[in-house]
A and B are shown apart, each in its own frame.
Chain A
Amino acid sequence: MKLLLPESRAEALAMLARTPDAVPVAGGTDVLVHWPTRMAEHDRTYLDLSPLGDLKGVRWEAGELVLGGLATYWDVIRDPRAAQELSLLVHAARQVGSVQIQARGTWAGNIVNASPAADGVPALMAYDAVVVLESVRGRVEVPLADFYTGYKEMHRASDELVVAIRVPRRAYALQRFVKVGSRRAQAIAKVGLALTRSAAGWRVVAASVAPTIRRCPALERLLADGAPLRSPDDLLPAIDQDVTPIDDIRSTAAYRRQVMARVVFDALRAS
């Protein structure tokens, strides 16, 4: 194993520019799962981000919440303003694994790990979060809703590091986060949903029903039009346009499609 140990953000970016195949390690919770048996990965190069103090924690600005590139779920769970203003972030963070994972796992890691079943990403996307990337070439900002280009593919060049996530502060008329899993803790989503309504409009974000976490434009249009919904089935035509659920080890396509309709319907009815 080759290990790069930068002491500053500038040094980290320079190392990443020289060694673009290096794997940046934030909290390590994805990299180390079943680590002793994943021998091939022991030969890779890793870049330890943990000493980069200026990427840690969260910061409230006038118009936005800035999550540092090393901000953890626990940082947000313990921030009382987050629960008041951007409650989906807290709801989502509390659904991640357990306290032991929440204490180490980072929002930026959740974004770049790019799991279609991520818990943090749907909440961020429903808030129009923006991913801030830096490299020796400069700084780029990409709306999270445009970040993914395919399964585990994204707008991040190999020399770029996620240094922050910007979450606009808005007044929300409605905020819902739902995760359907086998258990309430320590489970990965079969279906995930984050739903918001603000002056910027409706945001419906679905997890575990497509190759990436994604916004659902047909559902958003349906809700914006305000047509009365009599049953979850009324949502199915839009759902079929927006997502492509599959059968896998956690669930089936048919179950996910039905449950997504019910979860959206219930989230709206509860409002």
Chain B
Amino acid sequence: MKISFTLNGAPTSLEVDPTERLLDTLRYRLALTGTKEGCGEGECGACTVYLDGLPVNSCLVPIYQVRGSTVQTVESLDPAGLRPLLTSGATQCGACTPGVSMTACWIRDHPELLATHTIRELLAGNLCRCTGYDGIVDGIGATLEAGA
């Protein structure tokens, strides 16, 4: 089937197999390999992308539901905005980092969420087995302060 959507700001149309997940289309048809597959069951968040502005697990999005939507991947992030995560030691082996970066930037861009949520709750869908989360949470905190 042919689908059209907006990918990282650019209109995109391509032929896909309807059994594909958004994750598969991004990695294997569009060569956007920044988005990683970890668990394949919506637990780890390594495959996090924005779908119509909200972070989602691209392993749980059927490609046919992306028709007409807006998708942003880790490739769309401004590397300069990730500097606080680097400085705070938020990354070690790197497997979770694309997903963590997506959720981190979403929190940074929506500080109003912190009226009801903690950074840790918003980040609960991104598992990291190396850093113990303190560096990640500190990095997001620093990003928010820089933006405030």
Contacts and interface: CB of A to CB of B under 8 A. Distances in A.
Chains A and B come from one and the same complex: yes
Contact of A32 (B21, B48, B67, B103): B21
Interface stretch (B4-12, B72-80, B83-91, B121-129): B121-129
B107 to A, nearest CB: 9
A28 B62 contact: yes
A77 B51 CA distance: 18
Contacts of A5: 64
Interface string A21-53: 000010011011111100000100010101100
B60 A33 contact: yes
B130 interface: no
A1 B61 contact: no
Given A32-B60, A33-B60, A42 B19 contact: yes
B125 A97 contact: yes
Task: Among A31, A42, A48, A99, find the residue whose CB has the most chain B CB atoms closer than 10 A.
Answer: A99
Contacts of B135: none
B42 interface: yes
B100 to A, nearest CB: 12
B43 interface: yes
Contacts of B21: 32, 35-36
Contact of B41 (A34, A42, A103): A34
A98 B40 contact: no
Interface string B50-66: 01001111011110110
Contacts of B103: 99-100
A51 B65 CA distance: 8
Contacts of A94: 121
Interface residues of A, number: 31
A15 to B, nearest CB: 14
Interface in A68-92: 74, 77, 83
B69 to A, nearest CB: 9
A98 B61 contact: no
A170 interface: no
B148 interface: no
B65 A1 contact: no
B121 A32 contact: no
Contact of B60 (A29, A50, A83, A184): A29
A25 B125 contact: no
A201 B51 CA distance: 42
B45 A31 contact: no
A8 to B, nearest CB: 15
A173 interface: no
B40 A99 contact: no
Given A29-B42, A35-B40, A104 B124 contact: no
Contact of A185 (B18, B51, B116, B124): B124
B19 A74 contact: no
Q: Which 8 A-B pairs have the closest CB atoms?
A: A98-B125, A185-B124, A103-B54, A100-B125, A32-B60, A50-B65, A100-B57, A33-B41
Given A35-B40, A48-B62, A99-B54, 17 more contacts: A3-B18, A25-B65, A28-B65, A29-B57, A32-B62, A33-B41, A34-B40, A34-B41, A35-B19, A35-B21, A36-B21, A48-B64, A51-B68, A74-B54, A99-B125, A101-B60, A185-B121
Interface of A: 1, 3, 5, 25, 28-29, 31-36, 42, 46, 48, 50-51, 74, 77, 83, 94, 97-101, 103-104, 184-186
19 contacts: A1-B18, A25-B62, A28-B62, A29-B42, A34-B40, A35-B40, A36-B21, A48-B65, A83-B116, A97-B43, A98-B124, A99-B54, A100-B103, A101-B60, A103-B54, A104-B56, A185-B121, A185-B125, A186-B127
